[in-house]
Amino acid sequence: MKIIVSTLMMVTIINIFLLLTMAISKKTKMSREKNSPFECGFSPMSSTRKPFSIQFFLMATMFLIFDIEISVILPMTSTKMTNMMEWITTSSMTITILMMGLMHEWKSNMLEWTK
């Protein structure tokens, strides 16, 4: 019985706070001026949604891939790998996989800046 009473009291208190918050909250009216983008007090001269060039995205992706490659290969030199052949094999496999991906993008004309 105590659990039911406690639950009802909590639900009642929560509902009171919810209604109180809704009653005293600031009301906002939707208007064209408030919903338009702000450009230093001037009306926008062009559309705020411009098409995104996929070429920038591809260049950024390639930069990240090669940046990750460097962050994978460089720590291999500072670790205490006892077998130098293991390090050469691992780094050459990583570089080979990335170069194969680069050649695939090049042959697919993904690196052409203008089409």
14-42 confidence digits (pLDDT tens): 999 999 988 887 766 667 766 666 666 66
H-helix or E-strand containing 33?
helix 32-35
How far, in Å, CA of 61 to CA of 108, rounded? 16
- Residues facing 42 on adjacent strands: 39
List the domain boundaries for the chain: 54-107
Q: Which two tokens stand for residue 18?
A: 């919810």
- HSE toward the beta carbon, residue 21, CA cutoff 13 A: 6
Residue 8 has pLDDT above 90, yes or no: yes
- A 10 A CB-CB count for 76 gives 14
pLDDT tens for each residue of 69-108:
777 777 766 666 667 787 788 878 888 988 888 888 788 8
pLDDT at 14: 95
**How far is the C-alpha of 43 from the C-alpha of 45, rounded, in Å?**
6
For residues 61 and 53, the answer to whether their CB atoms sit within 8 Å is no
Q: What's the mean per-residue pLDDT of the chain? A: 78
Residue 68 parent element (H or E)? helix 54-78
Spatial separation of the C-alpha atoms in residues 27 and 38, rounded to whole Å: 21
Assign 5 a pLDDT band (cuts: 50, 70, 90): very high
* pTM assigned to the model: 0.43
Phi/psi of residue 36, nearest 5 degrees: -85, 150
